[in-house]
Amino acid sequence: MPGIEKEFITFVVAVISGMNARLIYRCLECVREIFKHSLIVTGIEDVLFWLGIAFYFFVQIYQTSNGSIRWYFVLGIVAGVFLATLLLRKMQKIQEKFLHKNNKK
């Protein structure tokens, strides 16, 4: 696959990777809301999350660009996290609107 096409696919993979990381962290936040944790357990969870995400990103970088860190891969991860955050906020607003509508009845 020639140059720009491969770079575009790498960028898309990076965006998806960033979205995955953000959504996984949101799942962790939901677990924390359901089950209250001490600060030590929360810290351990965060360290394990970041170690896992670092390994995940390493594997994605290795598979897409043979281990070379490209600026557009980093930009794609940031864009993916941003897009996932926007998506989560939009979903939360829809949920709040739906719950508020049902509480009026």
Quote the longest CA-to-CA distance of the chain.
Answer: 59
Where do the structural domains in the chain lie, given as residue ranges?
A: 3-104
- Residue 33: count other Cβ atoms within 10 Å of its Cβ: 8
With a threshold of 0.85, does the pTM exceed it? no
Task: In whole angstroms, give the CA distance from residue 86 to residue 35.
Answer: 25
Q: Kindly give the confidence (pLDDT) of every residue in the chain, 105 residues in length, as a single tens digit, with 9 standing for 90 and above.
A: 568 888 899 999 999 999 999 999 999 999 999 998 899 999 999 999 999 999 999 999 999 888 788 888 999 999 999 999 999 999 988 888 887 776 665
Task: In whole angstroms, give the CA distance from residue 91 to residue 35.
Answer: 22
